[in-house]
Amino acid sequence: MAAAIVATAFGGPEVLSLVDVEVPVPGPGEATVAVRAAAINPVDHKIFSGAFGADGSSLPLRVGLEGAGVVTAVGEGASVAVGDEVIVAGPGAGGLYASEVTVADTALTAKPAELGWEEAAGLLLVGGTAEHTLVATGVGEGDVVLVHGVAGSVGLVAAQLAIHRGARVIGTAAPARHDALRGYGIEPVAYGEGLADRVRAAAPDGISAAIDTVGTDEAVDVSLDLVADRDRIATIAAFGRAAEAGIKALGGGPGADPGTEIRAAARPELARLAAEGTLTVVVARTYPLAEAADAVRFVQEGHAGGKVVLLP
């Protein structure tokens, strides 16, 4: 038996309960993982809230799309071995708010020993999204990139990866975050009225590409104002505006490119970069598994300042 968080109905964090569940014996191409850390993502609540569909037959609903742990059992033909330390994310992963899970081995990436459990648990979903935004907008050496919401989990990883590629990054954030952002080599500007002028002052020779991680009209409008080539503007949140403006929508929204292959291919390199310290995953707060509802509420406030992680 394992401890697991389930949604007993569709709704807010109050529908989450800690229960005992059976852990399936791994079948062909599967592995069982003892979870050491599980990361919370905003999409988790969208799933158990019913925003993506409220089929009552799926209740009680297991929750959690990424985590990290140790392989405890393997099925026939699995690509991992008992004792391997792994990161769990991507197709075939699910129910990670738990002490143990059985998943497809396609959802497993080797965890470098240098990478902590909490950081590993929160790396691959934001990292894959960040990598997708950079590939979609063609960011490379010599580019000047505007990242909206650069202090958020996806924005911060996208900025670090862009800098690693040789780009210069200007990012929007609240002034209280500016000093910390400069430590990553990011040039911060405050969002709000006059944003376009502040960005022009910071980059008088122009902006090559823009990445929107927040979905506000300001982010889209300023991007359209500053970037001439709409193929080099991407959003992971403003799906309606993307369709209207002819910019790239990425992720799981309506009409968006999911970028499944790009995100999957990025996992080993993301783990390597995080292990060597080139890429930092900021863990804002940890919670015991039993306090998952409180952890989700904290994420919903929108100002976590990094990943929020459950520790089974």
As a whole number of angstroms, the distance between CA 244 and CA 275 comes to 40
Of 231, 249, 267, which residue is a domain's last?
Answer: 249
In a shared domain, residues 214 and 118: no
In a shared domain, residues 43 and 138: no
Q: What is the CATH number of the domain that holds 304?
A: 3.90.180.10
pTM of the model: 0.94
User: Which residues span the domain enclosing 143?
Assistant: 126-249
In a shared domain, residues 145 and 161: yes
The total of structural domains in the chain comes to: 2
Q: What is the CATH number of the domain that holds 163?
A: 3.40.50.720
Q: Is residue 262 part of a domain?
A: no
In a shared domain, residues 28 and 44: yes
pLDDT tens, position by position, for the chain (312 residues)?
Answer: 999 999 999 999 999 999 999 999 999 999 999 999 999 998 999 999 988 888 888 999 999 999 999 999 999 999 999 999 999 998 889 999 999 999 999 999 999 999 999 999 999 999 999 999 999 999 999 999 999 999 999 999 999 999 999 999 999 999 999 999 999 999 999 999 999 999 999 999 999 999 999 999 999 999 999 999 999 999 999 999 999 999 999 998 889 999 999 999 999 999 999 999 999 999 999 999 999 999 999 999 877 778 999 999
Of 209, 225, 249, which residue is a domain's last?
Answer: 249
In a shared domain, residues 90 and 173: no
Contact 146, 199 (CB under 8 A): yes
Indicate left, alpha or beta for 202 from its phi (over 0: left) and psi (-120 to 50: alpha). Answer: alpha
In a shared domain, residues 193 and 286: no
In a shared domain, residues 86 and 187: no
